[in-house]
Amino acid sequence: MLVEKLELKRNFHLGRKEIEAEFKKGLGVSKIIWLKKGLIEDETGNYGTIWKDLYPIGSGGHIDLFCRFAGPNTIVLSEVKKEETKNNLVAAINYEILEENYRILKNSTDQDGKPFNIIRIPVGPFMTAKHVLTEEDKYILNMVNGSKAGDTFHYVLGTSYLNFIIANGVVITSKYFKEVRSQEFKVRDDKAKLALQKAFPNHKIVQIEIEGYNHDGAGFHCVTLNQPKVISK
């Protein structure tokens, strides 16, 4: 699965067919499914503000924040509930993005022509933060037009339950509830865990705090590199 907006932006000298050919050659796959966009908070800073004074803090719409394979025929996809879109423009934008991607997946098949089993997982909780820029914040200063040291930068964290790691018998994902936070965080954490357990029935689902990385739009999957097991013949 590829995110069209991200791939065409990063490979501006290539079209979809050329990009497909490179991925098929490099990964040995026979079919590519094109999703449209990633989550709005995973846009880069030069996108501008999303809502009010809030900027995105991401890399352009990486797929591992919202959509993953959980097996040969099972896909997990983030979901924004309709009621979450009230009075929250970020949630409203993500609702449209994710439902469009859901429709694409519902009408897609695997390499053998079989439809996918799609399991919806709650999006990460809506969380914001602010940071006073210094000369060391070169990425933001270069990305956000008119920004300068001393400005207060307001942004949306890249929270996600789908930036998980699949390891031997375990799936490591995020948790966001703390005693100082409302029970809504715990309810969301629990729903995500149950949905992931459905997607990975033979794995133990372990939730660990990852919030610090979310401030840079990253998560577990972004900062790890899986080492496949070598199977001798």
SS3 sequence of 62-104:
CHHHCEEECCCCEEEEEECCHHHHCCCHHHHHHHHHHHHHHHH
pLDDT at 228: 72
Q: Is the pLDDT of residue 174 over 90?
A: yes
pTM for this entry = 0.94
Q: Is the pLDDT of residue 72 over 80?
A: yes
What average pLDDT score do residues 204-230 get? 90
pLDDT at 230: 77
Neighbours of 169 (CB within 10 A): 9
Alpha-carbon gap, residue 128 to 49, rounded angstroms: 13
Q: Is the pLDDT of residue 96 over 90?
A: yes
Alpha-carbon gap, residue 30 to 22, rounded angstroms: 11
All domains of the chain, ordered by start, with CATH?
Answer: 2-223 (3.75.10.10)
**Mean pLDDT, the chain, as a whole number?**
95
Q: Is the pLDDT of residue 189 over 80?
A: yes
pLDDT at 68: 98
Q: From residue 22, how far is each of 4, 17, 38 by CA, in Å?
A: 15, 9, 21
Percent of the chain topping pLDDT 70: 100
pLDDT at 226: 75
Alpha-carbon gap, residue 35 to 56, rounded angstroms: 20
